[in-house]
Homo-oligomer: A and B are copies of this chain.
């Protein structure tokens, strides 16, 4: 694995487990089995690591999500696929889930600006689906799209959050159908 990827993976693990502020460069370097200084050959500073995680992982998330719903016609089916995809990504890498969950809320203004850029595409997917649902008459005409998107992401966030913080003891997939139904009703 290229050193860049090794470091990024290590960073996700450490930041996911300790949080950005408590994750020390030394820890990440240790985990990646490189020297502290090496990290600075691939990232300009600690913050850059976090931003890069968002950039790459969200990009990846979005690409895969788009690919998965490509060709699917049914709006509700799309919703279900997206939720399942979300849970899959988060289940497969709980550390990443924590990073995205927790550190997305950086109070640092600069960082939030940098992150928001990548969030847009992330938001776009679900908004497109919602719009599609409205166009098809499945969702109500006057559905407030932002509100719907906030409900969608907020709910998934909270579900993941609970799952992550309580030790990932149950299977997230168990709730996909139920959630799909709840969203569909809420948006109708």
In the assembled complex, A157 has its CB within 8 A of some CB on chain B: yes
Bound together, the chains give a CA A187 to CA B107 distance in angstroms of 33
Chain A residues in the interface with B (C-beta under 8 A):
16-19, 21-22, 98, 101-102, 105-108, 112, 144, 146-148, 150-151, 153-159, 161-162, 165, 175, 178-179, 182-183, 185-188
CB distance from A119 to the nearest CB of B (A): 11
Bound together, the chains give a CA A161 to CA B159 distance in angstroms of 16
17 new A-B contacts, CB < 8 A, other than A105-B161, A155-B155, are A16-B107, A18-B107, A21-B21, A98-B107, A144-B175, A146-B162, A147-B159, A150-B162, A151-B155, A151-B182, A153-B158, A154-B154, A154-B155, A154-B158, A154-B161, A157-B158, A182-B186
CB distance from A173 to the nearest CB of B (A): 13
Nearest B residue to A163 by beta-carbon distance?
A: B150
Question: Is the Cβ of B165 less than 8 Å from the Cβ of A147?
Answer: no
